[in-house]
Amino acid sequence: EGDNVVARKLTDIELGLFAAESYLARAGRPKSPHELHGHTLLNKYDGPEWRFTCKQHSVHIQGGSKLNSNDANLLGQMVSDGAGIALLPCFDNMLREGWVRLMPEWAVDTVPLYLVYYKNRGSVPTVRSMVDFLLEKFGRR
């Protein structure tokens, strides 16, 4: 199947650590990754590991979480509801009022976003126009 598929990298998705103001008022605001161990973590189980880097220092967080999901929108809703802290994409349309980005000075590995389609469908007008649109949108022409 691999020979029949085209994969084009569109971008790298920046991730950030987010919590609602209501959660932080109740649980306190962590200032470093080390302080996350005392907090309720909402984990995207098919997402990246929680590995933070600042200057030459690296911290890997492996803690129990309150919720494991493969749905970033569900995790975002849980953040809005004040349920805990989540590692989420920094898309403008994902970020919500009342959210606080925690520890922005600590970088997290990005996640690549690929456009994948069957090679033999690439010349179909609807597929071709979608491919062209996405490549243009992400500046990958």
> What does the chain look like in DSSP terms, one character per residue?
-GGGEEEEEEEEE-EEEEEEHHHHHHH---SSGGGGGGS-EEEETTS--EEEEETTEEEEE----SEEES-HHHHHHHHHTT--EEEEE--TTT--TTEEEE-TTSEE--EEEEEEEEGGGTTSHHHHHHHHHHHHHTT--
Q: Pseudo-torsion of CA 88, 92, 93, 99, nearest 10°?
A: 60
Query: Which of these CATH numbers, 3.40.630.30, 3.40.1360.10, 1.10.10.10, 3.40.190.290, describes 13-110?
Result: 3.40.190.290
Total-model pTM? 0.82
For the chain, 141 residues long, give each residue's pLDDT as a single digit of tens: 568 999 999 999 999 999 999 999 999 999 999 999 889 999 888 878 899 999 989 998 876 667 788 898 999 999 999 999 999 998 877 778 899 999 999 999 899 999 999 888 777 899 889 999 999 988 765
Task: Delimit the domains of the chain by residue range.
Answer: 2-9+113-137, 13-110
